[in-house]
Amino acid sequence: MPRRALALTGLAAWIGLLAATPWVADNYTVRVAITIAMFSAMALSWNLIGGFTGYPSFSTAAFFGIGCYVGALAQRNGVPLVLAWTLATFGVALFAAALGTIILRLKGHYFAIGSIAVVEVVRLIVSSWGSVTGGGDGLNVPLLQGSPDWVAAKVLYVMLAIMLAAFAATVLVDRGRLGFGLRCINQNEDAADMVGVDTTRFKIAAYALSALFCGTVGAVYASWVGYIDPTDSFSILLTVKVPVMALLGGAGTVFGPVVGAGVFVLLEEFFWANFLEWNRAILGGIIVFLIFFLPGGILRLDYRRLLRRALELREAKQKSPEAAE
């Protein structure tokens, strides 16, 4: 298993690099590291339902947003920080399990729309329920104690821990019965059902798991930024970004979401810094490029073939090796 060992070493190095940022780099870099850890956790989570099972789930923003609000509201009512985060985690997982029993009966496009509609409905409910959620004005979340640098480092380590937990969950699912069942569902749900895979239970488990960490991430995010509102917490962009990250790395693989989230956030930061006005168009461009040129994601690229072609091209002296990709 040298390839797997190599990949694990790479992951460890990557996490080490992210974890080192508070000691060696400026605040901006730490913020980017937090964003990477946060989106890695969410992309890994989404991968459990979207990658393993192939269900086009677009409800990530609902889970994230509910996590934000549960965490924030609990803290505002005097619940200690860590307990509030835990509450958000399991609250969201329960919500997803309950929701899953209803919308996982849908397939294909209908499931996709159902999961988008969930985001909209939750957002609208949160916006209209002003007496509890503050409505469109949003909520202030109790600030984390300590100096800004210390808070950033703390948030980073918590996010990295969530990312690691999501990764561990992915590995366990991947190797266990659940992962096998989910892949069967992806291949052919009816056949899986016939040979004795309890498809309903498997799907609900995957859906709840895919929500679990998003809830934690949401609650920690709320504590980090100190202010949440419905538009920000239930953003349709977030809903699309997360699956795109998983697809970019390679949906259905264990390492793909981590690679995808890292590449995506770095690309986005680069473009955000240089072409602020065109942020959305560039994201769209990345998506179009992804669908046409990287349909299996970065990890599924056949690098040996690419290298061979690059060498051939160099021999032909027509193009440089970089342009071949």
Partner 1 sequence: MDILQIFVNGIVLGALYACIAVGFSLVWGVLNVINMLHGSFIILGGYLTFFAWFYLGLNPILVLPAVALLLYILGFALQYLFINKVVTAPVLTTLTLTFGLDMILYNLMTVYFTATPRRVTLDLGSIDLAGIVMPVDRLLGMGLALLLTGVLYLVMRGSTIGRAIVAVRMDRQAAALMGIRVNRIYAITFGIGALMAGAAGAVFAMVFPVTTNLTGVFLGKAFVICVIGGLGSVPGALVGGLALGVIESFAGFYLGPQHAITVGFLLMLILLVVRPTGLVGVKGYE
Which residues are at the interface with partner 1 (CB under 8 A)?
A: 50, 54, 56, 102-103, 105-110, 112-114, 116-118, 120-121, 124-125, 127-128, 236, 240, 243-244, 247, 277-281, 283-288, 290-292, 295
Q: Is the Cβ of residue 224 or residue 234 nearer to partner 1 in the bound state?
A: 234
Q: Is the Cβ of residue 225 or residue 281 nearer to partner 1 in the bound state?
A: 281
As a dihedral over the C-alpha atoms of residue 200, residue 202, residue 205, residue 211, rounded to 10 degrees, the angle is -90
Q: Is the Cβ of residue 126 or residue 141 nearer to partner 1 in the bound state?
A: 126
Nearest approach in angstroms of CB 273 to partner 1 is: 17
Q: Could you give the maximum distance between any two Cα atoms of the chain, in Å?
A: 70
Nearest approach in angstroms of CB 111 to partner 1 is: 8
Nearest approach in angstroms of CB 42 to partner 1 is: 16
Nearest approach in angstroms of CB 108 to partner 1 is: 4
CA atoms within 13 A on the CB side of 157: 8
106 Cβ neighbours under 8 A, 6+ residues apart: 114
Per-residue burial over 104-141, b if 16 or more Cβ lie within 10 Å, else e, is beeeeeebbebbbebbeebbeebbeeeeebbeeebbeb
Q: Is the Cβ of residue 54 or residue 142 nearer to partner 1 in the bound state?
A: 54
Return the residue matching tokens 């209803």. Answer: 102
How many beta carbons lie within 10 A of that of residue 318, not counting itself? 10
Nearest approach in angstroms of CB 318 to partner 1 is: 26
121 Cβ neighbours under 8 A, 6+ residues apart: none
Nearest approach in angstroms of CB 169 to partner 1 is: 22
The answer to whether 286 touches 267, Cβ cutoff 8 Å, is yes
The answer to whether 66 touches 245, Cβ cutoff 8 Å, is no
Stated as kind and residue range, the H or E segment containing 325 is none
Nearest approach in angstroms of CB 94 to partner 1 is: 18
Q: Is the Cβ of residue 275 or residue 303 nearer to partner 1 in the bound state?
A: 275
Length of the chain: 325
Q: Is the Cβ of residue 9 or residue 101 nearer to partner 1 in the bound state?
A: 101
Q: Is the Cβ of residue 3 or residue 280 nearer to partner 1 in the bound state?
A: 280
Nearest approach in angstroms of CB 49 to partner 1 is: 11
137 Cβ neighbours under 8 A, 6+ residues apart: 130, 229
Q: Is the Cβ of residue 20 or residue 125 nearer to partner 1 in the bound state?
A: 125
Determine the 3-state secondary structure of 140 from DSSP: strand
